[in-house]
A and B are shown apart, each in its own frame.
Chain A
Amino acid sequence: MPQSDASQPLLRARGVRKIFPGTIALDGVDFSLQAGEVHALLGENGAGKSTLIKCLTGAYRRDDGDILLEGASIDPKGTLDAQAYGIGTVYQEVNLLPNLSVAENLSLGHQPTRFGMISGRRMNADAREVLAQYGLDIDVTRNLDSYSVAVQQVIAIARAVTLSGKVLILDEPTASLDSHEVKMLFDVVRSLKQRGLGIVFISHFLDQIFEISDRLTVLRNGQLVGTEVTAEIDRVKLINMMLGRELEQEVRSHGKHHAAAGEPRLSFTGFGRKGSIEPFDLSIHAGEVVGVAGLLGSGRTETAEVLFGVAQHDSGEARQDGTVLSLTNSRQAISAGFGFCPEDRKTDGVIADLTVRENIALALQAGIGWMRRIPDREQKAMANDYIRKLDIRTPDAEKPVGLLSGGNQQKVMLARWLVTNPSFLILDEPTRGIDVGAHAEIIRLIEELCAQGMSLLVISSELDELVAYSHRVIVVRDRQHVAELAGYEITTDNMVRAIAAPEREAVH
């Protein structure tokens, strides 16, 4: 029986403070979660959302403030404690262990035992049953790292759900999920809500916030801005609350018209790799942005990897300004002036222990060789330049990247490739996990870069975004390039149709 007694919140935080060296991450924040509601937590990158979650669940020691569960004061000393109170959490960082099996990951800490011995058979059967609710039918005895990031994310969510008797906390769970998986997740969330759980949901996708949440709380610079009922607030007001200012954003309904003049800078013909992407043709002019749209796992990332030589192509040829280019590995790609900012910043991205400055200088330094060290002063100037341009929230350039908020780490990663000033830059999901304000900055930056003559290939799940900056859009489905839209044809509707359309019924 869900207790919707408004006077008694299920989970309540009062005056929570958390201070990191150089940053006040939370400054007396109040938060209350009712049973049977989905409560969204919003704010810019570095606003303190993840920190609040970690203080609530005991992953961080808070410096001040109270936490009350059903009116009684609690003080979880760690995640295990929080789990014992019935609070299950999916943290923003890596959540599971790649070296354990799927079933072990799901059951870690509460494995079914008989006479003190883990019953492997029961553990696996339970795991299969749990995952079936999410439409996942996979071999649960295999190591977690044999599955894609999206599947891992679903498993992380499934684990948190099984652990949450009263409260479920999801910190940007949808960042690497496609729309189908998001829908599945929302179904689960709704049914948990029916059962009277309180759910905290963090996301930068405003559409998702409006779809799923009942109330929302906005943080800015570690302070509470306010709590509102979702149905009574509109987008503009919400963005205002988050940023503390108006967002000047040009809304575009279709792509830019751009008569590509002369010879293309790069042309790929019959480029492909067996088993990962069918051969495709692609040409890119100087100052042109080509967008890539498609579902997760459709071959978008594979396209980028083949172009950059991360995965070697086995058919076709590449030409740069008319001359044939050998692209069998990424070293050759880099020396041809290519840059590639990959999708998964956790595995091939930022180096957590290095400072912001070092991370930004990394690719440039690697390009000119480690013998010729870039002077500190120059590195610092470069770092500060991008900290300003991308609005990276950090006290200074010497902070280890691992201590920045998730979205700000993503910005550092982007800066790393921008400083190398490539002639052809591939961006895979550049705005994942980035707040609305910075989102607009990045779109502006992409336009600026292409005005300077850089060629870009941008992969994104956010179709609005593709419309905003692309001159052409390639649609990928089932590991094949199925359609190409240009200029006025680039609309979200056309893209959705091309992504969904069965074989023959392409857009043109």
Chain B
Amino acid sequence: MNARLLPLLATLVIFLVAYAICYAQYPAMLSTRVIGNLLTDNAFLGIVAVGMTFVIISGGIDLSVGSVIAFSGVFIAVMLRDTGLHPVVVFALLLTLTTLFGAAMGGVIHFLEMPPFIVTLAGMFLARGMAYVLSIDSVPITHEFYEVLQRSYWLMPGKGRLTLIGGMMLIVFIAGIMLAHRTRFGTNVYAVGGGVQTARLMGVPVGRTTVGIYALSGFLAGLAGIVFSIYTSAGYSLATVGVELDAIAAVVIGGTLLTGGSGFVAGTLIGVLIMGLIQTYIIFDGTLSSWWTKILIGMLLFAFIVLQKGLVWTTGKRRMAGG
């Protein structure tokens, strides 16, 4: 079997085992209701984590996404409050804005040869600051179109609801998987992550790819912002602090190497679901402090980093013996 599938498999096994444990204690957790909620509650995180997966596979990082989500919420709320624009128009405006924002960061990273960490850290402050400028208070969204969006769902067998935003996340994941594995852009992302210098010598358009990656991440952060505003019916500049870190955690738990070059969008979906599952378990239990979520995720992350190190080490070893 291909060694690079191993982290993905490990994630899948952990998810299934975790779910089995939950099911043994609370059989209700296997209902489509719980699954529906799992998808709805984590929709914005999942969407933004898809973008983060591309960024990390390319060997970069995007710290700005949490702030971009908050900015998106405030932008939508303020626009709907102060202008007569239809939400769809506002969405289009917003997505253009966040995509350009991401592209600009990618451009700085590539053309000025700056580390992604610094550039997107600056982007993080900038986006959060813009959100404050628009409004310091939480701005409620009351538009009939929003109610339509919130009320649309598909009733799954077993009375579970696949909401619009939950479904949206699944579509984004499918599109992400196709983009990663079935397009030239996707292969170029892996190539850049494998080694910029070599990729360039092989004829990969490194600049275009880097700009594209951060533009994609910006676009998906904007989309996550829309989803989050539908989820909460408000825009608040202090919302989603630290979501970029949750997204990074989901990507790593999903089996993507932080060093770049290797990983799977599908793994990220499982990563998001594992994190959601832990949260659901704690809610079901009722007595545990919600901080246990953080502790468990921390432990999982650590275990995964060790697993990946071990994997890199053993494959390196094997090659030596075989050479």
The residue among A146, A276, A297, A310 with the most chain B CB atoms within 10 A of its own CB is A146
In the complex, residue of chain B having the shortest beta-carbon distance to the beta carbon of A146: B319
B320/A100 in contact, CB under 8 A: no
- CA of A442 to CA of B25 in the docked complex: distance in angstroms? 72
Contacts of B190 in A (CB 8 A): 97, 99-100, 104
Pairs A–B under 8 Å by Cβ, sample size 30: A59-B200, A59-B201, A80-B203, A82-B203, A93-B197, A93-B198, A94-B195, A94-B198, A96-B198, A97-B190, A97-B195, A99-B193, A99-B194, A108-B202, A108-B204, A109-B202, A109-B203, A117-B178, A118-B181, A118-B182, A118-B183, A118-B184, A118-B187, A120-B181, A120-B182, A146-B315, A146-B319, A148-B322, A159-B202, A276-B321
7 tightest Cβ-Cβ pairs between the two chains A and B: A97-B194, A99-B261, A80-B203, A99-B194, A79-B203, A117-B182, A109-B203
Interface range, B side:
20 to 34
- Size of chain A's interface in residues, with CB distance under 8 A? 42
A108/B178 in contact, CB under 8 A: no
- CA of A99 to CA of B181 in the docked complex: distance in angstroms? 14
A382 interfacial contact with B, CB 8 Å: no
In the complex, residue of chain B having the shortest beta-carbon distance to the beta carbon of A79: B203
Q: Which of A415-441 contact B (CB under 8 A)?
A: none
Q: Given A94-B195, A99-B190, A146-B319, do A79 and B202 touch, yes or no (CB 8 Å)?
A: yes
- CA of A104 to CA of B191 in the docked complex: distance in angstroms? 9
B198/A95 in contact, CB under 8 A: yes
- CA of A276 to CA of B318 in the docked complex: distance in angstroms? 11
- CA of A206 to CA of B181 in the docked complex: distance in angstroms? 44
CB distance from A348 to the nearest CB of B (A): 9
User: A200-217 interface mask toward B, CB cutoff 8 Å, 1 = contact, 0 = none?
Assistant: 000000000000000000
B27 interfacial contact with A, CB 8 Å: no
The residue among A83, A143, A149 with the most chain B CB atoms within 10 A of its own CB is A143
The residue among A100, A145, A146, A305 with the most chain B CB atoms within 10 A of its own CB is A100
Contacts of A83 in B (CB 8 A): 203
Contacts of A480 in B (CB 8 A): none
- CA of A80 to CA of B203 in the docked complex: distance in angstroms? 4
User: B308-323 interface mask toward A, CB cutoff 8 Å, 1 = contact, 0 = none?
Assistant: 0000000100011111
- CA of A220 to CA of B79 in the docked complex: distance in angstroms? 68
A100/B194 in contact, CB under 8 A: yes
CB distance from A349 to the nearest CB of B (A): 14
Q: Given A78-B200, A108-B203, do A116 and B183 touch, yes or no (CB 8 Å)?
A: yes
Q: From the candidates B2, B198, B203, B323, name the one contacting A301 in the complex (CB within 8 A).
A: B323
A91 interfacial contact with B, CB 8 Å: yes
CB distance from B184 to the nearest CB of A (A): 6
Q: Which of A77-94 contact B (CB under 8 A)?
A: 78-80, 82-83, 89, 91, 93-94
Contacts of B4 in A (CB 8 A): 99, 143
User: A305-321 interface mask toward B, CB cutoff 8 Å, 1 = contact, 0 = none?
Assistant: 10000110000000000
A99/B198 in contact, CB under 8 A: no
User: B187-225 interface mask toward A, CB cutoff 8 Å, 1 = contact, 0 = none?
Assistant: 110110111011111111100000000000000000000
A79/B193 in contact, CB under 8 A: no
A80/B205 in contact, CB under 8 A: yes
B262 interfacial contact with A, CB 8 Å: yes
User: B254-285 interface mask toward A, CB cutoff 8 Å, 1 = contact, 0 = none?
Assistant: 00000001100000000000000000000000
B148 interfacial contact with A, CB 8 Å: no
- CA of A78 to CA of B195 in the docked complex: distance in angstroms? 17
A252 interfacial contact with B, CB 8 Å: no
- CA of A396 to CA of B152 in the docked complex: distance in angstroms? 71
